[in-house]
Amino acid sequence: MRFAGAAAAAGMLRGFRYHLFMPPTPSQSLVLTFEEARRVVEDQASQTAPGGNETIDLLHAAGRVLAEAITADRDIPPFPRSTRDGYAVRAADLATLPAKLKVIGEIKAGPVQVASAMNRGQAFSIMTGAPVPQGADAVVMVEYTSPQGDHVEVTKGVAPGENVVAQGAEAKRGSLLLDRGTRLNEAAIALAASVGRSRLQVFVRPRVAVLTTGDEIVAVDAEISSTQIRNSNSYSLAVQIQKAGGDPVLLPIAPDEPRRLRQLIEEGLQSDLLIMTGGVSMGRYDLVEPVLAGLQAEFFFTGAKIQPGRPVVFGRVGSCGAGAPAREGASAPLSQQRSHKHFFGLPGNPVSTMVTFELFAKPMLEAGAGMSPRPLTFVHARLKSDIRIKTGLTRFLPAILSGKYEDSLAEPVPWQGSGDIAARARANCYIVVPPDREHILTSEWVAIMSL
| Binding interface with ligand AMP (CB under 6 A) | 212, 214, 216-217, 229, 231-234, 277-281, 283, 347-350, 419
Name the minimum Å distance from CB 83 to ligand AMP: 54
Q: Kindly write out the interface string for residues 203-232 of this chain, putting x where it contacts Mg ion by CB under 5 A and - elsewhere.
A: -----------x------------------
Minimal distance, residue 221 CB to Mg ion, in Å: 21
Residue nearest to ligand AMP (CB): 348
Name which of 29 and 71 has its Cβ closer to Mg ion. 29
Minimum CB separation of residue 13 from Mg ion in Å reads 25
CA angle 373, 60, 368 (to 5 degrees): 25
Q: Smallest Cα–Cα separation from 140: which of 126, 129, 150?
A: 126
The dihedral region occupied by 234, where left means phi > 0, alpha psi between -120 and 50, and beta the remainder, is alpha
When the beta carbons of 214 and 308 are compared against Mg ion, the nearer one is 214
Q: What minimum distance in Å lies between the beta carbon of 18 and ligand AMP? A: 18
Give me the helices (H) in 113-156, please: none
CA–CA distance, 379 with 381 (Å, rounded to integer): 7
Q: Which is nearer to Mg ion, 282 or 379 (CB)?
A: 282
Q: Which option in ligand AMP, Mg ion, none does residue 347 bind, with CB closer than 5 to 8 A by kind?
A: ligand AMP
Give 130 or 280: the residue with its C-beta nearer to ligand AMP: 280
Do the Cβ atoms of 44 and 197 come closer than 8 Å?
Answer: no
Name the residue among 120, 34, 136, 48 with its Cα closest to residue 86. Answer: 136
Closer residue to Mg ion (CB): 255 or 363: 255
CA triplet 61, 41, 376: central angle to 5 degrees? 65
> Helices then strands (H, E): number in the chain?
10, 30
Q: Which of 278, 311, 347, 435 binds Mg ion (CB under 5 A)?
A: 278
| Cβ distance to ligand AMP smaller for residue 217 or 401 | 217
Determine the residue with CB nearest Mg ion: 214
User: Are the C-beta atoms of residues 424 and 375 closer than 8 Å to each other?
Assistant: no
With CB under 5 to 8 Å by kind, the binding choice for 370 among ligand AMP, Mg ion, none is none
Partnered with residue 431 across adjacent β-strands are: 397, 448
- Shortest distance (Å) from residue 32 CB to ligand AMP: 19
Q: Which of 299, 273, 418, 401 is nearest to 353 (CA)?
A: 418
| Neighbour count for residue 156 (Cβ, 10 Å) | 13
Q: How far is the CB of 37 from ligand AMP (least distance, A)?
A: 18
Residues in contact with Mg ion by CB under 5 A are 214, 278-279
